[in-house]
Amino acid sequence: MYAVMGITGQVGAAVANSLLDRGERVRGLVRNPGKAAAWAARGVELAVADYEDANTLEAAFRGTDGVFAMIPPHFAPAPGFPEAKASIGAIREALARALPSKVVCLSSIGAEKASGTGLITTLHLLEEAMTSLPFPGAFLRAGWFMENSVWDVKPAVEQGKLFAFLHPLERKFPMVATADIGKIGAEILGQTWTGNRFVEVMGPERYSANDLAAAFTAVLGHKVEAVAVPRETWADTFVAHGMPADRTAPRIEMLDRFTSGWIDFGVPGTERFAGTTELQQVIAELVVRAEALTVSG
């Protein structure tokens, strides 16, 4: 039995799917069981837990052979990252009490750096807390999610534009599909090891903003052009999208460090996993999903 956090989200769902495909038993952590009925129908045991409540997390982790752990994303965190720290503290306490055989955590490219990475700082804090647990741990340092392009579907369809924060447009960055994160997460949960492992997780190759635009072009059948969002407009752009004006800095710092190449793979002492899911496949899935939502809406 493996406990999976985030089963109703992208990465947790990918891990659960991969585990089920391998014939494993899965316990999915949820806040609202009603939103996970499809998982229950597939034989997943649902455990109600709050990510900031060590007691409910401990109950969900107990009696498992391994846990896939992650913290909820906070794109506009309060100063000092109190939201992430609360989740990290509760998860660590629950794991220390429940004592599963192992834990596999969703981390991020750049998480080895203690500062200067903006939003990725929360994943450094996660690694720092979990590496001191008295059982084996593995940390999946995933690249840029291909599924982040869900926000690009509408402008690509309606305007033939892809407004890119990844600069310059021709620079290729490590990206990965959540399906591939799920595969390696499930694979490692089934392994036996000692100590802590750090695994860099990327797709079959690196991709640029121009590559993203080309993938949309191929899927949509009309020209989609990548357009760089000027650095000086980022804060105003995020505010226009609903982010509080005083909370844009961590996201901007992350993008700055990522686009500069300061955050990258190739960290000494890490393993490397390359997935097989191509960018165009993910873009096609995002477009189909958006079309389905439009029809149902």
Instruction: Compute the mean pLDDT over every residue in the chain, rounded to the nearest whole number.
Output: 96
CATH topology of domain 2-296: Rossmann fold (3.40.50)
Report d(CA 104, CA 137) in Å as an integer: 6
More confident residue, 73 or 87: 87
| β-pairing verdict for 144-145 and 66-69 | unpaired
- Provide the residue ranges of all domains of the chain, joining segments of one domain with +: 2-296
pLDDT at site 292: 77
Residue pLDDT, tens place only, 112-137: 999 999 999 999 999 999 999 999 99
Of 179, 19, 181, give the one whose Cα is nearest residue 107: 181
Handedness of CA 280, 277, 136, 3 (dihedral sign): positive
pLDDT tens figures, 231-259: 999 999 999 999 999 999 999 999 999 99
pLDDT tens-digit series, residues 211-227: 999 999 999 999 999 99
pLDDT at 278 over 70: yes
Mean pLDDT of 5-31: 96
Taking alpha carbons only, the member of 116, 122, 91, 81 closest to residue 6 is 91
What does the block give as tokens for 250?
């961590």
Phi, psi angles (nearest 5°) of residue 183:
-65, -50
Section 26-43 average pLDDT: 94
Give yes or no for residue 69 having a pLDDT over 70.
Answer: yes
Asked if pLDDT for residue 296 goes beyond 60, the answer is: no
Q: Is beta strand 161-164 parallel, antiparallel or unpaired with respect to 196-202? A: unpaired
Cα–Cα distance for residue pair 80/95, rounded to 1 Å: 24
The C-alpha R_g of the chain, in whole angstroms, comes to 19
pLDDT tier, 291 (very low <50, low <70, confident <90, very high otherwise): confident
User: Around Cβ 235, how many Cβ atoms within 10 Å?
Assistant: 15
pLDDT band at 294 (very low <50, low <70, confident <90, very high): low
Nearest to 15 by CA among 139, 138, 176, 181: 181
The number of helices, as runs of H, and strands, as runs of E, in the chain is: 11, 13
Angle at 215 between CA 229 and CA 261, to 5 degrees: 50
Instruction: Let me know: does 29 contact 22? Beta carbons within 8 Å.
Output: no
Question: CA-CA distance, 80 to 85, in Å (whole number)?
Answer: 9
* pLDDT 10s digits, 148-161: 999 999 999 999 99
Q: Which amino acid is at 159?
A: Q
Instruction: Supply the pLDDT for residue 49.
Output: 96
